[in-house]
Structures are given as structure tokens and as C-alpha cells.
Amino acid sequence: MLNGLLNENPIFRLALSMCPAVGISTTVRNGLMLGVAVLFVQVCSSCTIAAIKNYIHPRIRIPTYTLTIATWVTVIDLVLSAYFPVAYKAMGIFIKLIVAFAIITMRLEVFACKNTVGKSFWDGFGMGLGFLFGMVTLGFIRELLGMGTLMGHNVLGFKPLLFFALPLAGFFCVGFMMAVFNYVELVFNRMKKKRG
């Protein structure tokens, strides 16, 4: 489960599903919402595929994955538009586009179609959590630097770098975060070498 959080973090390490990471991680709340939605879809479709894996013909497995994901995305799409209309509007088309997120299909292909429901649940949970973690981190940085607020509460009292509130600053933010992850790995490996 921890695998998805750091070592194979979908956003910063695998560089998958980056469209929302750039597009709507402007605030912590947006990041949290989309993260939860992805977590839900990932866990549900992982479990579904793990449960029916014996009945899927290998040649049509990719379309089956896609349709399974699409079903769960429709569910979350309708739920969000009914209960959280404001947040739903802010996220725009991205909720519907969870279908095309490579990370979910990848986990189904790599893990869920070979393992039991229980294991797939935890794997999906870890991956979804990793995505959630990435989105919240980005949202945290951008909201703090761009608007000086956190979750809508005024924290700093001034706006350090308004630039980060712009949607396109997501590109820079993701780039910097990736560099940080690389740096941590570099230092970690160096320490390991010294010890070993």
C-alpha cells in the first residue's frame, strides 16, 4: 500500500495522470475533491476487475477495463453533481475525464487482473492515496504561495507569489516537485552507498 504513496507516486514518480495535477490543483479543496473521486474509482474498479478476472477473455481485457472504469466514473460524476454542485462546477470536465487517466488502467492491467479482491483493494487504495497525496501537496503549495490561504482560511495575510494561483503555474509546480523527489532519491541512494 505504501508503494503508491512514495516510491511509485503516480504524479511525481510515474508521471501519469498529470492533466488534473496541472489543471485544477490550484487550491487544497479542489485537489482533495478530485483525489477522493479518483481514489473511489480506483478502488471500485480494482475490486470489480479482481472479482471478474476469470471471466474476461484476454483479448478484450482493455475494453473491459475501460468500460468498468467508465461505469464507476459515471457513478461518481452523478453523485458529485447532485451533492456538491459548486465543487463539481469548479472541476469542470475533469471528473468525467477520470476515465482516461492512465494510472487506473495501469493498475488494473498490472495488479488487479492477477490478484485477489482483498489485495487489489489495498493496492488500489494505496495508489489512490498516492494520487490524493500528490494533489493535496500541489494544492497546498499553490494555494499558500498564490493566495496566502489554506482551505479558504487566511493563513499568511498576504499574497507572496500571485503567479502560483494561475492555472498554468501547475506546470512549474509539478516540475519542481518532481525535481525534489529526484533529489531526495539521489541523497537517499548516496547515503545507502556510504553505509553499504
Partner 1 sequence: MSASRFKIASLIACIAVGAVVLSQVCWAGLANRFIQKTAFKGKHDILISFAAPVDKDWALNKANFRVYEEPDPDIKLPISKISLGPDNKSLILHFDEELNQSQPHVVVIKNIRSRGKNLGTAMVKAKKLYLGFLFSIFIGAMLIHNFVFTKYLGLCVFFGTSQKRSTAVGMGVTFTIVMVASAMMSWFLYQFVLKPFHLDYLQIIVFIGLVSLSVQAVDTILRKVNPILFKAFGVYLVLVIANCIILAVPLILADNEYNAAESFMLALGAGLGFLVALFLMSSVRERLELANVPPTYRGLPIAFVVAGLFALAFLGFSGMSIF
> Could you say which of 84, 168, 190, 191 contacts partner 1 (CB under 8 A)?
168
Closest distance to partner 1 from the beta carbon of 152 (Å): 23
Rounded CA gap, 85 and 39, in Å?
A: 19
> Could you say which of 99, 112, 113, 138 contacts partner 1 (CB under 8 A)?
99
Q: Which three cell numbers stand for residue 162?
A: 500571485
17 is an interface residue for partner 1 by CB under 8 A: yes
By residue count, the chain amounts to 196
Closest distance to partner 1 from the beta carbon of 46 (Å): 18
137 is an interface residue for partner 1 by CB under 8 A: no
Q: Is 185 helix (H, G, I), strand (E, B) or coil?
A: helix
104 is an interface residue for partner 1 by CB under 8 A: no
Q: Which is nearer to partner 1, 67 or 110 (CB)?
A: 67
Closest distance to partner 1 from the beta carbon of 71 (Å): 7
The answer to whether the CB of 176 falls within 8 A of the CB of 140 is no
String marking each residue 52-91 x if it binds partner 1 according to CB under 8 A: ----------xx--xx--xx-xx--xx-------------
What are the start-end ranges of the H helices in 53-168?
A: 61-83, 85-91, 102-107, 117-147
The answer to whether the CB of 74 falls within 8 A of the CB of 38 is no
Torsion angle defined by CA atoms of residues 170, 172, 177 and 181, in that order, rounded to the nearest 10 degrees: 140
176 is an interface residue for partner 1 by CB under 8 A: yes
Q: Which is nearer to partner 1, 92 or 118 (CB)?
A: 92
Instruction: Give the residue carrying C-alpha cell 494561483.
Output: 165
Binding residues for partner 1, rule CB under 8 A, total 42
The answer to whether the CB of 24 falls within 8 A of the CB of 94 is yes
DSSP bridge partners of 150:
153
Interface with partner 1 (CB under 8 A): 15-20, 22-23, 62-63, 66-67, 70-71, 73-74, 77-78, 93, 96-97, 99-102, 105, 166-172, 174-176, 178-180, 182-183, 186
